Structure formats: structure tokens, C-alpha cells
Structure 1
Amino acid sequence: MKQDYDVLIFDEMRKIGASLHVILNRRCEPYDITRVQAEVLMELQNKRQLRISELADTLSLSISNLSAIAKRMEKSGFVERVHDFRDRRIVYLQMTEKAKECLQDVCRQESLFADLNEKQFQKVMEGLQVLSAYIEERRKSNE
């Protein structure tokens, strides 16, 4: 029945998310970083430097939570705060060399999806793209 679609889809997404969190937490443990800290580093790797507010928005975290995470990461030597040269009030976070090496090691571990063949990969990607587009369409219609 169509009314059960929400329950079924959310349940699968919850199971996938929980499993991915466990795997990423295990990969991060040896480097003394959390999964969320690894996600921060992955975002910074893609964008070089970001404001805390931009990172918080991207990762769906509150600014206060991300500020606390950033403070711990700064103390651990994974990120540094950089002031905008035009407006010193604007502060960006950027990765340190230590963070780049750590992230390379975390990502260098065996690929989670290495055993998928091309056909399986295409099916997974197709399903994810359909779901992503559908959810984005629904989000826009609710704005």
C-alpha cells in the first residue's frame, strides 16, 4: 500500500545511515576523531575553507554544536581558524596538514562498495538519484 511507502523508505534509510555511521566511526577511531569530525574534514577538503555557519548548514548541525566541534578539532590540530583579509570579523575554518594526512588514511581504507559489480553499482546509483530528486522536489514544493 502506498501509505506504507514512508515507513518502508524511512526504515531503510535509517538502517543504511546507522550502518554507515558504525563503519565510519570504526575507521575514525584509530585517528582519535569522531564521524562528525570526519564529515567536517570531508567538507573542508571539498571547499578548502568555510565559515562555521556554512558548515553547520551543510552538515545539518546547529552553529553552537559545530562551534564546539571546531574548537575541539582546533585543539587537536585538525583545523585552524583563518580571518578574512578584507573583513577580520569573518572567520573561516580550514584543514591543517595533519587533518589532510588523517583524512587520506581514513579514505584509503578498503572501499565500502568495492565488491559491487558495475550492474549493481548502476542500480544503486539509479535508485539513489531517483530518491534524491524526488525528495528535493518535495522540499521545494513545501517552501
Structure 2
Amino acid sequence: MNWKLDEQLCFLLYASSRNVIKAYKEILDPFGLTYTQYITMIALWEQDHQLVSELGDKLQLDSGTLTPLLKKLEKDGRVTRIRDHADQRKVYISLTDAGKALGEACKVVPERLLQCVQIDKQKARELYFILKDVYKDYLEDDKS
């Protein structure tokens, strides 16, 4: 085999991911969000009032990463954390009014990202479906 780094799918995925997250930083800074906070908020904008464990599963984040992130979002007034009265081990995360308003403001983010990565909408859509298949296969393998 003749090794070439830029011909390795793993490297292209890794480098592209890092570059996209770097672009997100510039886009999200004015909203006071990190990339991980942003995807957490997306999960909550999609479905408000979720268990921390559900969020962790959706985002593929462990509690050691998710808990400090949620505490910061709570401190910033974007979410509330409420323990279940019947089962104190369960903690629900809900959007505040400020968190909901942030969702409206962040609707410009996806379009801004497309401008940063300079990919047309058709190619972005094709890439989306390819990556969705890769992700789905990973999840199915993880369950077996």
C-alpha cells in the first residue's frame, strides 16, 4: 500500500470536522454558545423538557461532559434543571423564555455555516445523506 494522508477517509472526516467546528466557533460566539452548547440547545429546541439521560443519549455525550455544560446554560439563564419529585435521580432540562428566544435568533446559523464552508446546498444535502448513513450504521453496530 502506498500511504497518502489526504487519501484516507478517516483523516478527511477528522480534518473536516475540526474545520467545521472552528467555523461554528466564529458563528456562535456572538450568541454566547460553544458548539456543544449549540447542539444541546438544538436538541431542546426540537423537544423541550427532557431528561438529562435522554439528552446524553441523543448527543452521545457522557454525564461528565453534559453536566457542566447544562450548569453553564442554566447559569446563563437558558435552561432550568429540575429534579423529579418521585425519583430524585432523574433530572429534567427545560428551556427558559431566554432559551426559546435564542432558538429564534440562532435560525441564521445553518445558512452562515454553509457560507463559511463554501459548499452549495445540493452538495451539502448529498453529504448530509452520506453522513447520516454512516452515523446510522454506527448506531446499529453499537447496539449489536
Bin for the TM-score computed over the shorter chain: 0.7 to 0.9
Report the TM-score, using the length of structure 2 for normalisation.
0.74
| Cα separation, partners in 2 of 1:56 and 1:14, compared to 1, 3 Å | same
Q: Deviations over 1:81-120 (max 9, x none)?
A: 23457x353321011111222232233257133676xxx5
Structure 2, unaligned runs of 5 or more = none
Contact 1:38 1:103 in 2 (8 A): no
Give the corresponding residue for 2:33.
33
The answer to whether the Cα contact below 8 Å between 1:44 and 1:95 also exists between their aligned partners in 2 is yes
Does the residue aligned with 2:92 lie in a helix, a strand or coil?
strand
Count of paired positions? 137
Distance in 1 between residues matched to 2:129 and 2:65, nearest whole Å: 30
- Identity over aligned pairs, percent: 21
Q: For residues 133 and 42 of structure 2, what CA distance do their matches in structure 1 show? A: 23
Q: In structure 2, how many angstroms separate the alpha carbons of the residues matched to 1:29 and 1:123?
A: 27
1:1-143 correspondence runs (5 A): 8-84=8-84, 87-89=86-88, 90-109=90-109, 111=111, 112-113=113-114, 121-134=121-134, 136-137=136-137, 140-141=140-141, 143=144
8 Å contact from structure 1 (residues 84, 91) kept in 2: yes
Name the structure, 1 or 2, with higher relative contact order (CA <8 Å, separation 6+).
2
Shift of 1:42: 0.5
The 3-state SS of whatever aligns with 1:13 is: helix
Contact 1:27–1:106, Cα closer than 8 Å, also in 2: no
